[in-house]
Structure 1
């Protein structure tokens, strides 16, 4: 489930792709062998058959090594939900924080998005990209002007959020559809922010084992 927090209230949005997914099955050694023999039976000479046997042995060896690798991964945990890759606790700022404070904490913590909280209420979100549209940064990587402007003056008051138990593939779909780089993760009641998930979190996840299941 995904919820957009805005000054007008909360709105629910969906995230279901229109096409059903079909799982891609791996080629087994038997299927591989049958396919190769069917292709070769009509034109292989005796010498070629010898070369084919060598290739066949190498293919069997490669498939065997691949199978061993799969067996070593059976005890690893496949990540499927937001809670397993989100960042927590959340770094946030109040509406009265200045652009300089926002920029400094982004540089110090190496983050690109900061939610704006009024108490525990989520009232906006600010990205480094949006911040750089409104300020001038000097050669020392410090904001030169305007330094004392409030972050809420430029923060987006409409924030798309998600829950901790949502499938990460749905998160990727929503980020793509709405062209956003992060989602605050809300509690089940929707009254408290408990984490953040970003595009970088998804990319880092894809680069690690165990792999996500791939569908086409």
Structure 2
């Protein structure tokens, strides 16, 4: 089974982050510009303090009648961030994300963020691995 480190090596996009004092509208623009569903919230660009997802926005801004321009990211971000490690397998990450009902998993090494994987990244990795296995089985049967 592939490890997260292999997924991050093949990803084009690095970590998309924002400061906690930034307005939510800036986070939404970042997500739209990079085609992602969440941004990491980092203090001084290095310390992970939260994560802001489209789900957070929908539930904590739109439904509560707040405005994106006047609400700081820190007021609506998820403060308790579940993280993975480079050595974790795709299956381990999928299990954690399913149990915690999350769609994005920051990856840490030595307490520093080195990347982020989405549930879509993990599903793609599983499908790719299954296709390789299927091809090997077909080659075995044909020989």
TM-score between both structures, scaled by the size of structure 1: 0.54
Q: What are structure 2's unaligned runs of at least 5 residues?
A: 135-143
Q: Which of these two proteins has the greater Rg computed from alpha carbons?
A: 1
More deviation in 169-178 or 86-95? 86-95
> Which of 179, 182, 196 lines up with 2:101 in the alignment?
179
Separation in 2, partners of 1:94, 1:155: 11
**Kept after mapping to 1: 8 A contact 2:61/2:76:** no
> Which of 125, 132, 138 lines up with 2:58 in the alignment?
132
- Structure with the higher helix share, 1 or 2: 2
Aligned residues: 125
Residues 98-137 of structure 1 deviation map (CA, whole Å, 9 limit, x = unaligned): 110011111111101111001211100111111122334x
Q: Secondary structure at the match of 1:114?
A: strand
Question: How much has 1:157 moved relative to structure 2?
Answer: 0.9
Question: How much has 1:170 moved relative to structure 2?
Answer: 0.6
Please identify runs of 4+ aligned residues in structure 1 that moved more than 4 A. none
Question: How much has 1:85 moved relative to structure 2?
Answer: 1.3
TM-score between both structures, scaled by the size of structure 2: 0.79
Q: What are structure 1's unaligned runs of at least 5 residues?
A: 1-78, 137-143
Aligned counterpart, 1:94? 19
Root mean square deviation, CA, Å = 1.9
